Structure 1
């Protein structure tokens, strides 16, 4: 078997992490198990990540940063809709089971909890604050908007549907969240 490098190896490793996480929870994501599942060696993993927590954190961050858009579309509405569509695609796509497993397992794994809260959710909070600031700068968002609430409103509905109710996440829901809840909430008065 030829040695894999670059993107091919990276994909195999990250797929192994996600598969192990979904099937066995974070405790199943060991360097040995990932190496075996990705058909590589532990030294290859240790050259890139110092430990399993770093590997988990990096994999979760990669999912979030590639799935959730963070570019400026030119409007608060467009930016927010793009973010919610990214979450919706993630929550209804092949990684939905992994996200559910990661969140459920985090209650019993302080390393995973820290990685998810500090890195993935922390990154989203910073990105949403920047999105709101762009809206303020364009005059679409009032200067006194409570950022800590506005940055979570739409996303929290999607997380609730993913983890609690199981209700569908549809395009109509996304548009209603943006047009009927978020834009009116942040609009200058």
Structure 2
């Protein structure tokens, strides 16, 4: 195998970080372990990141900012379904343990927590606000809907199932969250 550089090497390193994080939690992400798993050397890692926490932060922020794309589907219901389905994909199956490990990493790293809250959570709040604003403009969402609560409602159920109950996270759940909870709560009064 030839020497990897650039995007190929970066991808291998980030994949190693995520694999170690999912399997062993944040303490398993050491420069030695990442170098071994990515088939590279520690000096290569240290040229890019000053320490394991910076490598972990950078990798997690990249995953978080690209895993939940926002799209305008043409309807409020479609937009919310798309968001919650993206969360479902992250939480269900093989990536579920990784998402639990992300929370563990955030809990023990104040710098990661601050970055995660400002960049990822802040971005998600803005995108949810935009979805609700489009819904209001289309007449699908009442203007006085409590957006600051409703934007978290569906996601909080998914997080609760991932972290607390272990109950299934599937498309039926997502559809029920949207149709049975969110849509009735945002519906304009004249449609009730």
Is this a same-fold pair by TM over 0.5? yes
Structure of greater Rg: 2
**Which of the five TM-score ranges fits, normalised by the shorter chain?**
0.7 to 0.9
State the alpha-carbon separation in 1 of the partners of residues 58 and 105 from structure 2: 17
> Please, which moves more after superposition, 80-89 or 21-30?
21-30
Contact 2:76 2:134 in 1 (8 A): yes
Equivalent residue for 1:170? 170
- 1:101-155 residue CA offsets vs partner (Å, 9 max, x unmatched): 2223433332343343333322222211111112122221122222210110111
**Where in structure 1 are there 5+ consecutive unaligned residues?**
none
CA drift of 1:77 comes to 0.3
Do the aligned partners of residues 130 and 57 (structure 1) sit closer, same or farther apart at CA in structure 2, a change above 3 Å counting? farther
Q: Within 5 A, what are the aligned runs for 1:12-91?
A: 12-91=12-91
Q: Distance in 1 between matches of 2:61 and 2:134?
A: 23
Verify: 1:9 aligned to 2:9, yes or no: yes
Question: Cα RMSD (Å) of the superposition?
Answer: 2.2
- Offset, 1:75: 0.7
SS at match of 2:108: coil
Whether contact under 8 Å (1:60, 1:120) holds in the other structure is: no
TM score, norm. by length of structure 2: 0.85
TM-score, structure 1 length as denominator?
A: 0.86
- 5+ residue gaps, structure 2, are none
Q: Which moves more between the two structures, 33-42 or 126-135?
A: 33-42
SS at match of 2:55: helix
Match in the other structure for 1:131:
131
Cα separation, 2, equivalents of 1:65 and 1:20: 20
